[in-house]
């Protein structure tokens, strides 16, 4: 562009440059050459304000529409991811909840079992789903433990998921073989000190499991270096404690109950905050004065990140209504599942954050790494 064209572009008069004249652009007195960049800067700022205003209006519209969305939801089937294989306690609770929610919502709620990687495969699938309420997940609190032990487990439930509500708790019970002369955790600790080779070990259903971590907490409080025997699941650990290969095991109530009734095993104490309905005579560690043992494993409902608050509150209220129905509690009680819900998504969110940090401290103290 020549100087004359440039002058025209800025709105001033133009003069053809004669040969030998200096390179000069003639402008009207009201503008200077510096006005060009200033004009575009002003224009960009104006457009920026307009764009920001439009975005604000969109956001305000979305916020205004969120309650209506929650009221009209669901309009199609809902997918409930259970990140464990079919047949376990999480699957049982998930199917009970799905059936009752289907009746309440008048839409199918399908249980989608996505087992693998300690529940992280299903959790990651949930975190990638659209935050529209049509993908939910029922999982275990062990999801908060694995990231502290396994670098590849990068999902952080505090920010990569939306916490909806706690659904239930599943306390564990410390049991011993009938031949072990201990009726309390304190007596077992004394035996372990006097004869560590015979009484200084215990089994659990895996390295980094809730039982393993809680027994590490208890052993540390007793200044005991207990030997942990990790099994691939609960069944083989029960076989060995019944056979006397190990003196004690920490396990589910449901798995222990038949052997307690037969007298082959003896219960010493329960994790969690309160006694179990099916084991009214078994005290909790908390009752016996031990700290840090009240953190029972829990089941919780989550959604993808970014779920609108009105929708998360609607889902939480509906799930709580289903869970707090006495018929639901009766249906899952034989599996050792105790219904316990959160009063709001925000309360559950805080619980998740607290437990995440709590398990981080336990894992760090124990120096644990996943198998």
pLDDT of residue 138: 98
DSSP string, 9-45: HTT----PPPTT--S-----TT--TTHHHHHHHHHHH
- In the chain, the largest separation of any two C-alpha atoms, in whole Å, equals 115
Q: Compute the C-alpha angle 203/363/140, nearest 5°.
A: 70
For residue 364, count other CB atoms closer than 10 A to its CB: 11
**CA-to-CA distance for 301 and 316, rounded, in angstroms?**
8
**CA-to-CA distance for 238 and 241, rounded, in angstroms?**
5
Burial of 87 (C-beta count, 10 Å sphere; 0-12/13-18/19+): exposed
pLDDT of residue 71: 80
Tell me the per-residue pLDDT of 100-141, one tens digit each, with 9 for 90 and over.
999 999 999 999 999 888 889 999 999 999 999 999 999 999
At residue 69, φ and ψ (nearest 5 deg) are -60, -45
Tell me the per-residue pLDDT of 21-71, one tens digit each, with 9 for 90 and over.
443 333 333 444 445 555 545 545 555 555 555 555 544 444 445 566 678
369: three-class secondary structure by DSSP: coil
Question: Is the model's pLDDT at 224 over the cut of 60?
Answer: yes
How many residues in the chain?
371
126 and 170 Cβ atoms separated by less than 8 Å:
no
136 and 79 Cβ atoms separated by less than 8 Å:
yes
At residue 110, φ and ψ (nearest 5 deg) are -100, 130
Average model confidence (pLDDT) for the chain? Answer: 84
Q: How confident is the model at residue 159 (pLDDT cuts 50, 70, 90)?
A: very high
74: preceding bond cis by omega (within 30 degrees): yes
Name all domains of the chain by residue range, CATH numbers in brackets. 3-70 (no CATH), 79-170+297-366 (3.40.190.150), 172-270 (3.40.190.10)
281 and 199 Cβ atoms separated by less than 8 Å:
no
The mean per-residue pLDDT over the stretch 252-272 comes to 93
Tell me the per-residue pLDDT of 280-334, one tens digit each, with 9 for 90 and over.
999 999 999 998 888 778 999 999 999 999 999 999 999 999 999 999 999 998 8
Q: How confident is the model at residue 17 (pLDDT cuts 50, 70, 90)?
A: very low
Tell me the per-residue pLDDT of 165-204, one tens digit each, with 9 for 90 and over.
999 998 899 999 999 999 999 999 999 999 999 999 999 9
pLDDT of residue 37: 52
* Rg of the chain on CA atoms, in Å: 31
pLDDT of residue 9: 38
pLDDT of residue 267: 98
């Amino acid at each position: 562009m020549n100087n004359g064209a440039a002058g025209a572009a800025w709105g001033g008069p133009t003069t053809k440059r004669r040969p030998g004249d200096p390179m000069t652009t003639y402008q009207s007195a009201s503008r200077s050459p510096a006005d060009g960049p200033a004009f575009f800067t002003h224009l960009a700022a104006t457009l920026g304000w307009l764009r920001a205003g439009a975005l604000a209006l969109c956001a305000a519209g979305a916020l205004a529409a969120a309650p209506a969305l929650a009221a009209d939801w669901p309009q199609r089937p809902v997918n409930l991811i259970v990140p464990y294989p079919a047949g376990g306690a999480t699957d049982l609770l998930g199917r009970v909840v799905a059936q009752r929610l289907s009746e309440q919502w008048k839409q199918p709620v399908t249980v989608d079992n996505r087992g693998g990687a300690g529940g992280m495969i299903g959790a990651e699938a949930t975190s990638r789903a659209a935050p529209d309420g049509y993908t939910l997940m029922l999982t275990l609190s062990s999801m908060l433990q694995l990231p502290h032990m396994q670098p590849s487990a990068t999902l952080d439930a505090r920010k990569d998921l939306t916490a909806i509500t706690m659904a239930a708790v599943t306390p564990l019970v410390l049991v011993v073989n009938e031949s072990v002369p201990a009726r309390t955790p304190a007596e077992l600790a004394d035996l372990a000190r006097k004869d560590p080779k015979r009484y200084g070990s215990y089994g659990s259903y895996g390295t980094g499991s809730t039982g393993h971590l809680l027994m590490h907490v208890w052993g540390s409080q007793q200044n005991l270096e207990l030997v942990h025997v990790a099994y691939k699941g609960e069944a083989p650990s029960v076989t060995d404690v019944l056979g006397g290969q190990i003196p004690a095991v920490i396990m589910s109530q449901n798995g222990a109950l038949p052997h307690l009734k037969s007298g082959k095993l003896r219960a010493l104490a329960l994790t969690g905050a309160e006694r179990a309905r099916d084991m009214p005579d078994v005290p909790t560690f908390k009752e016996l004065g031990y700290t840090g043992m009240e953190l029972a494993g829990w089941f919780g409902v989550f959604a993808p990140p970014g779920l609108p608050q009105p929708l998360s509150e609607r889902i939480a209220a509906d799930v709580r209504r289903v869970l707090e129905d006495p018929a639901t509690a009766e249906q899952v009680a034989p599996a050792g599942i105790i219904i316990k819900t959160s009063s709001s998504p925000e309360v559950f969110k805080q619980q998740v954050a607290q437990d995440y940090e709590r398990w981080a401290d336990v894992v760090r103290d124990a120096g644990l790494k996943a198998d």
